[in-house]
Amino acid sequence: MHIYRGHIVYSKSWDELAVHRDSYIAVSGGIVEGIYDRLPEKYADAPMTDFGDDVLIPAFSDLHVHAPQFPQRGLGMDLLLSDWLNTYTFPQEARYRDMDYARAVYEAFVNSLIANGTYHACVFGTIHRPATAWLIERMEQEKLRAYVGKVNMDMQSPDYLCETAEASLRETEVFLDACAGNRFARPIITPRFAPTCSFELLRGLGKLGAKYGVGVQTHLVESRWEAAEAVRLYPECGCDTGIYEKAGLLENGPVVAAHFIFPSDEDVRILKRCGGFAVQCPDATVNIIAGIMATDALSRQGVRLALGSDIAGGHLSGIYGQAARAVQLSKLKWFYEPEGNRPITFANAFYMATKAGGALFGRVGSLEPGYAFDALVIRDFSDPFRSLSPEETVERFCYTGNPADIVAGFIAGEAVRGR
Protein backbone atom coordinates (compact mmCIF):
# COMPACT_ATOMS: atom_id res chain seq x y z
CA MET A 1 0.00 0.00 0.00
CA HIS A 2 1.21 3.49 -0.86
CA ILE A 3 -0.55 6.85 -0.64
CA TYR A 4 0.01 9.74 -3.04
CA ARG A 5 -1.23 13.25 -2.38
CA GLY A 6 -1.83 15.98 -4.95
CA HIS A 7 -4.45 17.18 -7.38
CA ILE A 8 -5.93 14.29 -9.39
CA VAL A 9 -7.50 14.52 -12.85
CA TYR A 10 -8.81 11.72 -15.08
CA SER A 11 -11.61 11.09 -17.57
CA LYS A 12 -14.88 9.71 -16.28
CA SER A 13 -16.47 9.62 -19.73
CA TRP A 14 -16.30 11.15 -23.20
CA ASP A 15 -17.65 14.45 -21.89
CA GLU A 16 -16.54 14.61 -18.26
CA LEU A 17 -13.27 15.08 -16.42
CA ALA A 18 -13.09 13.97 -12.79
CA VAL A 19 -11.18 16.52 -10.69
CA HIS A 20 -10.08 15.87 -7.10
CA ARG A 21 -8.28 18.81 -5.51
CA ASP A 22 -5.83 18.26 -2.66
CA SER A 23 -6.73 14.58 -2.47
CA TYR A 24 -5.19 11.25 -1.59
CA ILE A 25 -5.01 8.25 -3.91
CA ALA A 26 -4.42 4.85 -2.29
CA VAL A 27 -2.60 2.24 -4.36
CA SER A 28 -2.38 -1.41 -3.34
CA GLY A 29 -0.49 -4.00 -5.36
CA GLY A 30 -0.25 -1.58 -8.28
CA ILE A 31 -4.05 -1.07 -8.40
CA VAL A 32 -5.95 2.05 -7.40
CA GLU A 33 -7.91 1.31 -4.22
CA GLY A 34 -9.62 4.67 -3.84
CA ILE A 35 -9.41 8.48 -3.86
CA TYR A 36 -10.15 10.43 -0.68
CA ASP A 37 -10.56 14.07 0.28
CA ARG A 38 -9.37 13.09 3.76
CA LEU A 39 -7.06 10.19 4.41
CA PRO A 40 -8.93 7.35 6.16
CA GLU A 41 -7.60 6.34 9.54
CA LYS A 42 -6.81 2.83 8.29
CA TYR A 43 -4.12 4.33 6.04
CA ALA A 44 -2.55 6.52 8.72
CA ASP A 45 0.61 4.41 8.88
CA ALA A 46 0.94 3.79 5.13
CA PRO A 47 3.92 5.42 3.38
CA MET A 48 2.93 8.61 1.54
CA THR A 49 4.42 10.75 -1.23
CA ASP A 50 3.20 14.35 -1.31
CA PHE A 51 3.29 16.03 -4.73
CA GLY A 52 1.98 19.37 -3.45
CA ASP A 53 0.30 21.38 -6.21
CA ASP A 54 1.37 19.02 -8.99
CA VAL A 55 -1.30 16.99 -10.80
CA LEU A 56 -1.62 13.22 -11.10
CA ILE A 57 -3.11 11.98 -14.37
CA PRO A 58 -3.32 8.60 -16.14
CA ALA A 59 -0.46 7.60 -18.45
CA PHE A 60 -1.08 8.03 -22.16
CA SER A 61 -1.87 5.44 -24.85
CA ASP A 62 -0.52 5.68 -28.42
CA LEU A 63 -2.55 3.39 -30.65
CA HIS A 64 -0.60 3.97 -33.86
CA VAL A 65 3.17 4.40 -34.03
CA HIS A 66 5.89 3.11 -36.37
CA ALA A 67 8.94 2.28 -34.25
CA PRO A 68 11.32 1.88 -37.23
CA GLN A 69 10.49 5.39 -38.45
CA PHE A 70 11.79 6.96 -35.23
CA PRO A 71 15.06 8.17 -36.88
CA GLN A 72 13.17 10.09 -39.58
CA ARG A 73 10.79 12.06 -37.37
CA GLY A 74 10.62 15.68 -38.47
CA LEU A 75 12.39 15.01 -41.77
CA GLY A 76 10.99 15.40 -45.27
CA MET A 77 7.83 17.01 -43.98
CA ASP A 78 7.66 19.22 -47.07
CA LEU A 79 6.98 16.13 -49.21
CA LEU A 80 3.63 14.56 -49.96
CA LEU A 81 2.95 10.99 -48.89
CA SER A 82 4.15 9.02 -51.93
CA ASP A 83 7.45 10.92 -52.25
CA TRP A 84 7.97 10.82 -48.48
CA LEU A 85 7.49 7.05 -48.37
CA ASN A 86 9.85 6.39 -51.27
CA THR A 87 12.51 8.91 -50.23
CA TYR A 88 12.57 8.31 -46.48
CA THR A 89 10.33 5.60 -45.11
CA PHE A 90 10.93 2.57 -47.31
CA PRO A 91 14.75 2.96 -47.40
CA GLN A 92 14.70 3.51 -43.63
CA GLU A 93 12.64 0.39 -42.97
CA ALA A 94 14.98 -1.69 -45.13
CA ARG A 95 17.78 -1.05 -42.63
CA TYR A 96 16.20 -3.28 -39.99
CA ARG A 97 17.78 -6.38 -41.44
CA ASP A 98 20.83 -5.04 -39.55
CA MET A 99 20.31 -6.03 -35.92
CA ASP A 100 22.89 -3.59 -34.56
CA TYR A 101 20.98 -0.74 -36.17
CA ALA A 102 17.63 -2.12 -35.03
CA ARG A 103 18.73 -2.45 -31.40
CA ALA A 104 20.08 1.11 -31.31
CA VAL A 105 16.93 2.64 -32.80
CA TYR A 106 14.47 0.56 -30.82
CA GLU A 107 16.22 1.33 -27.54
CA ALA A 108 15.88 5.05 -28.32
CA PHE A 109 12.25 4.53 -29.30
CA VAL A 110 11.38 2.78 -26.03
CA ASN A 111 13.14 5.51 -24.06
CA SER A 112 11.12 8.14 -25.93
CA LEU A 113 7.84 6.41 -25.07
CA ILE A 114 8.76 6.40 -21.39
CA ALA A 115 9.99 9.99 -21.43
CA ASN A 116 6.71 11.18 -22.94
CA GLY A 117 4.52 9.27 -20.49
CA THR A 118 3.29 6.80 -23.11
CA TYR A 119 3.10 3.54 -21.20
CA HIS A 120 0.70 1.79 -23.60
CA ALA A 121 1.26 1.57 -27.36
CA CYS A 122 0.19 -0.24 -30.52
CA VAL A 123 3.37 -0.50 -32.59
CA PHE A 124 4.30 -1.33 -36.18
CA GLY A 125 7.67 -2.99 -36.73
CA THR A 126 8.98 -3.94 -40.17
CA ILE A 127 8.89 -7.12 -42.23
CA HIS A 128 12.04 -8.23 -40.38
CA ARG A 129 11.08 -10.75 -37.70
CA PRO A 130 14.34 -10.76 -35.66
CA ALA A 131 14.30 -6.98 -35.23
CA THR A 132 10.60 -6.88 -34.37
CA ALA A 133 11.09 -9.74 -31.89
CA TRP A 134 13.84 -7.76 -30.17
CA LEU A 135 11.54 -4.73 -29.91
CA ILE A 136 8.63 -6.63 -28.36
CA GLU A 137 10.89 -8.27 -25.79
CA ARG A 138 12.46 -4.91 -24.91
CA MET A 139 8.99 -3.47 -24.27
CA GLU A 140 8.09 -6.56 -22.23
CA GLN A 141 11.15 -5.95 -20.03
CA GLU A 142 9.96 -2.40 -19.30
CA LYS A 143 6.44 -3.69 -18.52
CA LEU A 144 5.01 -1.40 -21.18
CA ARG A 145 1.57 -2.63 -22.17
CA ALA A 146 1.74 -2.96 -25.92
CA TYR A 147 0.73 -4.69 -29.09
CA VAL A 148 3.64 -5.07 -31.51
CA GLY A 149 3.43 -6.41 -35.04
CA LYS A 150 5.76 -7.77 -37.70
CA VAL A 151 4.61 -6.00 -40.87
CA ASN A 152 3.23 -8.03 -43.79
CA MET A 153 3.41 -6.85 -47.42
CA ASP A 154 3.85 -8.94 -50.56
CA MET A 155 2.89 -6.65 -53.45
CA GLN A 156 2.80 -3.02 -54.68
CA SER A 157 5.86 -2.23 -52.54
CA PRO A 158 9.60 -1.87 -53.20
CA ASP A 159 11.24 -5.21 -53.99
CA TYR A 160 13.50 -4.89 -50.97
CA LEU A 161 10.46 -4.77 -48.63
CA CYS A 162 8.35 -7.44 -50.31
CA GLU A 163 8.12 -11.00 -49.06
CA THR A 164 6.36 -13.86 -50.74
CA ALA A 165 3.04 -14.68 -49.12
CA GLU A 166 4.46 -18.03 -48.02
CA ALA A 167 7.54 -16.48 -46.38
CA SER A 168 5.51 -13.72 -44.75
CA LEU A 169 3.11 -16.21 -43.19
CA ARG A 170 5.93 -18.48 -42.04
CA GLU A 171 7.85 -15.65 -40.38
CA THR A 172 4.68 -14.25 -38.81
CA GLU A 173 3.85 -17.60 -37.24
CA VAL A 174 7.33 -17.90 -35.78
CA PHE A 175 6.90 -14.42 -34.31
CA LEU A 176 3.45 -15.17 -32.87
CA ASP A 177 4.58 -18.44 -31.35
CA ALA A 178 7.68 -16.91 -29.73
CA CYS A 179 5.71 -14.08 -28.11
CA ALA A 180 2.65 -16.05 -27.09
CA GLY A 181 3.61 -16.13 -23.42
CA ASN A 182 4.28 -12.42 -23.01
CA ARG A 183 2.41 -10.71 -20.19
CA PHE A 184 2.72 -7.04 -21.14
CA ALA A 185 3.89 -6.61 -24.77
CA ARG A 186 1.86 -8.94 -26.93
CA PRO A 187 1.90 -9.70 -30.66
CA ILE A 188 -0.65 -8.44 -33.16
CA ILE A 189 -1.06 -9.21 -36.87
CA THR A 190 0.05 -6.24 -38.98
CA PRO A 191 -0.69 -6.11 -42.72
CA ARG A 192 0.57 -2.69 -43.79
CA PHE A 193 -2.64 -1.97 -45.67
CA ALA A 194 -4.83 -3.79 -48.16
CA PRO A 195 -3.18 -2.54 -51.41
CA THR A 196 0.16 -4.04 -50.31
CA CYS A 197 -1.23 -7.49 -49.47
CA SER A 198 -2.51 -10.27 -51.70
CA PHE A 199 -5.68 -12.00 -50.58
CA GLU A 200 -3.67 -15.20 -50.21
CA LEU A 201 -1.57 -13.40 -47.59
CA LEU A 202 -4.56 -11.78 -45.85
CA ARG A 203 -6.50 -15.03 -45.69
CA GLY A 204 -3.46 -16.81 -44.29
CA LEU A 205 -3.06 -14.10 -41.66
CA GLY A 206 -6.70 -14.57 -40.72
CA LYS A 207 -6.04 -18.25 -40.09
CA LEU A 208 -3.01 -17.39 -37.94
CA GLY A 209 -5.11 -14.89 -36.00
CA ALA A 210 -7.67 -17.56 -35.24
CA LYS A 211 -5.01 -20.12 -34.32
CA TYR A 212 -3.15 -17.84 -31.90
CA GLY A 213 -6.06 -15.68 -30.75
CA VAL A 214 -4.51 -12.37 -31.80
CA GLY A 215 -6.05 -9.29 -33.36
CA VAL A 216 -5.03 -7.02 -36.20
CA GLN A 217 -3.72 -3.49 -36.73
CA THR A 218 -3.53 -1.81 -40.11
CA HIS A 219 -4.10 1.45 -41.98
CA LEU A 220 -7.75 1.84 -43.00
CA VAL A 221 -9.21 4.35 -45.46
CA GLU A 222 -6.37 6.74 -44.67
CA SER A 223 -6.60 8.45 -48.06
CA ARG A 224 -9.05 8.59 -50.93
CA TRP A 225 -6.49 6.72 -53.03
CA GLU A 226 -6.25 3.88 -50.51
CA ALA A 227 -10.02 3.55 -50.18
CA ALA A 228 -10.45 3.43 -53.97
CA GLU A 229 -7.46 1.15 -54.58
CA ALA A 230 -8.65 -1.35 -51.99
CA VAL A 231 -12.03 -1.63 -53.70
CA ARG A 232 -10.40 -1.81 -57.15
CA LEU A 233 -8.26 -4.75 -56.02
CA TYR A 234 -11.05 -6.47 -54.09
CA PRO A 235 -14.36 -5.34 -55.66
CA GLU A 236 -16.25 -8.25 -54.13
CA CYS A 237 -15.56 -6.86 -50.63
CA GLY A 238 -17.26 -3.50 -51.16
CA CYS A 239 -15.03 -1.45 -48.86
CA ASP A 240 -11.58 -1.40 -47.27
CA THR A 241 -12.70 -2.82 -43.91
CA GLY A 242 -14.71 -5.51 -45.69
CA ILE A 243 -11.47 -6.99 -47.06
CA TYR A 244 -10.25 -7.78 -43.56
CA GLU A 245 -13.68 -9.08 -42.61
CA LYS A 246 -13.70 -11.51 -45.54
CA ALA A 247 -10.14 -12.61 -44.71
CA GLY A 248 -11.23 -13.55 -41.18
CA LEU A 249 -9.03 -10.95 -39.48
CA LEU A 250 -11.66 -9.16 -37.38
CA GLU A 251 -12.80 -11.98 -35.11
CA ASN A 252 -9.68 -12.99 -33.22
CA GLY A 253 -8.75 -10.12 -30.90
CA PRO A 254 -8.40 -6.33 -30.83
CA VAL A 255 -8.92 -4.46 -34.11
CA VAL A 256 -7.01 -1.20 -34.53
CA ALA A 257 -7.76 0.94 -37.60
CA ALA A 258 -5.22 3.72 -38.05
CA HIS A 259 -6.54 7.01 -39.49
CA PHE A 260 -10.04 5.97 -40.66
CA ILE A 261 -10.47 9.32 -42.42
CA PHE A 262 -12.61 8.42 -45.43
CA PRO A 263 -14.87 5.57 -44.24
CA SER A 264 -18.00 4.56 -46.09
CA ASP A 265 -21.12 3.71 -44.12
CA GLU A 266 -20.16 0.04 -44.56
CA ASP A 267 -16.67 0.64 -43.16
CA VAL A 268 -18.26 2.22 -40.08
CA ARG A 269 -20.76 -0.61 -39.70
CA ILE A 270 -18.09 -3.30 -39.84
CA LEU A 271 -15.70 -1.53 -37.46
CA LYS A 272 -18.50 -0.99 -34.94
CA ARG A 273 -19.61 -4.61 -35.20
CA CYS A 274 -16.16 -5.92 -34.31
CA GLY A 275 -15.59 -3.30 -31.57
CA GLY A 276 -12.57 -1.89 -33.38
CA PHE A 277 -10.75 1.34 -32.59
CA ALA A 278 -10.47 4.19 -35.08
CA VAL A 279 -7.22 5.99 -34.35
CA GLN A 280 -6.82 9.67 -35.13
CA CYS A 281 -3.25 10.81 -35.82
CA PRO A 282 -3.54 14.61 -35.97
CA ASP A 283 0.06 15.65 -36.75
CA ALA A 284 0.37 13.03 -39.50
CA THR A 285 -2.89 14.28 -41.01
CA VAL A 286 -1.40 17.75 -41.37
CA ASN A 287 2.03 16.60 -42.56
CA ILE A 288 0.89 14.24 -45.31
CA ILE A 289 -2.36 16.03 -46.23
CA ALA A 290 -4.53 12.93 -46.08
CA GLY A 291 -7.64 14.53 -44.60
CA ILE A 292 -9.21 15.22 -41.20
CA MET A 293 -11.03 12.53 -39.26
CA ALA A 294 -14.70 13.33 -38.53
CA THR A 295 -14.02 12.76 -34.83
CA ASP A 296 -17.24 14.12 -33.40
CA ALA A 297 -19.43 12.47 -36.03
CA LEU A 298 -17.76 9.08 -35.54
CA SER A 299 -18.17 9.39 -31.78
CA ARG A 300 -21.88 10.09 -32.15
CA GLN A 301 -22.14 7.00 -34.38
CA GLY A 302 -20.70 4.89 -31.57
CA VAL A 303 -17.24 4.24 -33.02
CA ARG A 304 -14.49 3.70 -30.43
CA LEU A 305 -11.87 6.44 -30.83
CA ALA A 306 -8.27 6.85 -29.71
CA LEU A 307 -5.16 8.82 -30.62
CA GLY A 308 -1.84 7.96 -32.24
CA SER A 309 1.42 9.80 -32.84
CA ASP A 310 2.03 7.99 -36.17
CA ILE A 311 5.76 8.55 -35.87
CA ALA A 312 7.15 9.52 -38.33
CA GLY A 313 4.19 10.75 -40.34
CA GLY A 314 3.67 12.68 -37.13
CA HIS A 315 6.78 14.46 -35.93
CA LEU A 316 6.28 14.51 -32.13
CA SER A 317 6.10 11.50 -29.82
CA GLY A 318 3.91 12.88 -27.04
CA ILE A 319 0.25 11.87 -27.16
CA TYR A 320 -0.54 14.90 -25.00
CA GLY A 321 0.27 17.07 -28.02
CA GLN A 322 -2.00 14.97 -30.21
CA ALA A 323 -4.87 15.65 -27.81
CA ALA A 324 -4.38 19.36 -28.37
CA ARG A 325 -4.15 18.97 -32.13
CA ALA A 326 -7.29 16.81 -32.21
CA VAL A 327 -9.24 19.74 -30.82
CA GLN A 328 -7.68 22.13 -33.33
CA LEU A 329 -8.45 19.89 -36.29
CA SER A 330 -12.03 19.30 -35.18
CA LYS A 331 -12.59 23.06 -35.33
CA LEU A 332 -11.12 23.21 -38.84
CA LYS A 333 -13.28 20.28 -39.91
CA TRP A 334 -16.39 21.98 -38.54
CA PHE A 335 -15.47 25.38 -40.02
CA TYR A 336 -14.92 24.10 -43.57
CA GLU A 337 -17.36 21.16 -43.49
CA PRO A 338 -20.12 22.20 -41.06
CA GLU A 339 -22.60 19.60 -42.27
CA GLY A 340 -22.59 16.79 -39.72
CA ASN A 341 -19.46 17.96 -37.88
CA ARG A 342 -18.92 19.76 -34.58
CA PRO A 343 -15.78 20.73 -32.68
CA ILE A 344 -14.73 18.39 -29.91
CA THR A 345 -13.79 19.63 -26.43
CA PHE A 346 -10.54 19.18 -24.56
CA ALA A 347 -12.34 16.71 -22.28
CA ASN A 348 -13.19 14.62 -25.38
CA ALA A 349 -9.59 14.65 -26.60
CA PHE A 350 -8.13 13.80 -23.17
CA TYR A 351 -10.54 10.87 -22.97
CA MET A 352 -9.24 9.60 -26.32
CA ALA A 353 -5.65 9.96 -25.12
CA THR A 354 -6.16 8.11 -21.83
CA LYS A 355 -9.25 6.10 -20.91
CA ALA A 356 -10.48 5.32 -24.43
CA GLY A 357 -7.10 4.27 -25.77
CA GLY A 358 -6.20 2.50 -22.54
CA ALA A 359 -9.23 0.24 -22.91
CA LEU A 360 -7.36 -1.64 -25.62
CA PHE A 361 -4.93 -2.91 -22.98
CA GLY A 362 -7.30 -3.67 -20.12
CA ARG A 363 -7.96 -1.68 -16.95
CA VAL A 364 -5.60 1.21 -17.67
CA GLY A 365 -6.07 4.82 -18.71
CA SER A 366 -7.98 6.02 -15.65
CA LEU A 367 -7.37 6.55 -11.93
CA GLU A 368 -10.71 5.11 -10.86
CA PRO A 369 -10.71 2.28 -8.30
CA GLY A 370 -9.78 -1.03 -9.90
CA TYR A 371 -7.53 0.49 -12.56
CA ALA A 372 -3.78 -0.15 -12.71
CA PHE A 373 -1.82 2.76 -11.30
CA ASP A 374 -0.17 3.67 -14.60
CA ALA A 375 0.14 7.35 -13.81
CA LEU A 376 2.06 10.55 -14.43
CA VAL A 377 2.68 13.54 -12.22
CA ILE A 378 2.55 16.85 -14.13
CA ARG A 379 4.16 19.94 -12.63
CA ASP A 380 1.92 22.84 -11.63
CA PHE A 381 1.66 25.11 -14.69
CA SER A 382 0.41 28.15 -12.76
CA ASP A 383 1.99 31.52 -13.49
CA PRO A 384 3.24 33.78 -10.68
CA PHE A 385 0.42 36.17 -11.55
CA ARG A 386 -2.36 33.59 -12.10
CA SER A 387 -3.07 30.26 -10.47
CA LEU A 388 -4.45 27.48 -12.65
CA SER A 389 -7.01 24.89 -11.63
CA PRO A 390 -5.85 21.26 -11.92
CA GLU A 391 -7.82 20.77 -15.13
CA GLU A 392 -6.32 23.95 -16.59
CA THR A 393 -2.84 22.67 -15.75
CA VAL A 394 -3.57 19.46 -17.66
CA GLU A 395 -4.87 21.37 -20.67
CA ARG A 396 -1.87 23.72 -20.70
CA PHE A 397 0.47 20.73 -20.45
CA CYS A 398 -1.16 19.14 -23.49
CA TYR A 399 -0.73 22.34 -25.50
CA THR A 400 2.67 23.55 -24.30
CA GLY A 401 4.30 20.74 -22.32
CA ASN A 402 7.29 18.48 -22.93
CA PRO A 403 8.86 15.51 -21.13
CA ALA A 404 10.63 17.80 -18.66
CA ASP A 405 7.21 18.73 -17.26
CA ILE A 406 6.55 15.14 -16.16
CA VAL A 407 7.73 15.08 -12.55
CA ALA A 408 7.25 11.34 -11.98
CA GLY A 409 5.76 8.25 -13.59
CA PHE A 410 4.44 4.92 -12.38
CA ILE A 411 3.72 1.63 -14.15
CA ALA A 412 1.47 -0.67 -12.11
CA GLY A 413 2.50 1.27 -9.02
CA GLU A 414 6.23 0.99 -9.62
CA ALA A 415 8.23 4.17 -10.14
CA VAL A 416 9.44 4.41 -13.73
CA ARG A 417 13.20 4.32 -14.19
CA GLY A 418 15.05 7.58 -14.81
CA ARG A 419 14.80 9.00 -18.29
Query: How many other β-carbons are positioned within 10 Å of the β-carbon of residue 387?
Result: 12
- The residue-averaged pLDDT of 117-130 equals 98
pLDDT of residue 325: 98
Read off the pLDDT of residues 185-204 as tens digits, 9 standing for 90 and up: 999 999 999 999 999 999 99
B/e letters for 286-320, b = 16+ CB within 10 Å, e = fewer, are bbbebebbbbbbbbeeebbbbbbbbbbbbbbbbbb
Read off the pLDDT of residues 253-268 as tens digits, 9 standing for 90 and up: 999 999 999 999 999 9
2-57+370-415 carries CATH number 2.30.40.10? yes
Average pLDDT, the chain: 97
**Could you tell me which CATH number the domain at 60-361 has?**
3.20.20.140
- The residue-averaged pLDDT of 140-159 equals 97
Read off the pLDDT of residues 78-90 as tens digits, 9 standing for 90 and up: 998 889 999 999 9
Please tell me the distance from the alpha carbon of residue 136 to that of residue 132, in angstroms, as a whole number: 6
- The angle at the Cα of 49, spanning 45 to 54, to the nearest 5 degrees, equals 145
Is the pLDDT at 419 greater than 60? The verdict is no
| Domain regions of the chain by residue span | 2-57+370-415, 60-361
Pairing of strands 118-124, 145-149: parallel
Read off the pLDDT of residues 5-55 as tens digits, 9 standing for 90 and up: 999 999 999 999 999 999 999 999 999 999 999 999 999 999 999 999 999
The DSSP code for 143 is T
pLDDT of residue 289: 82
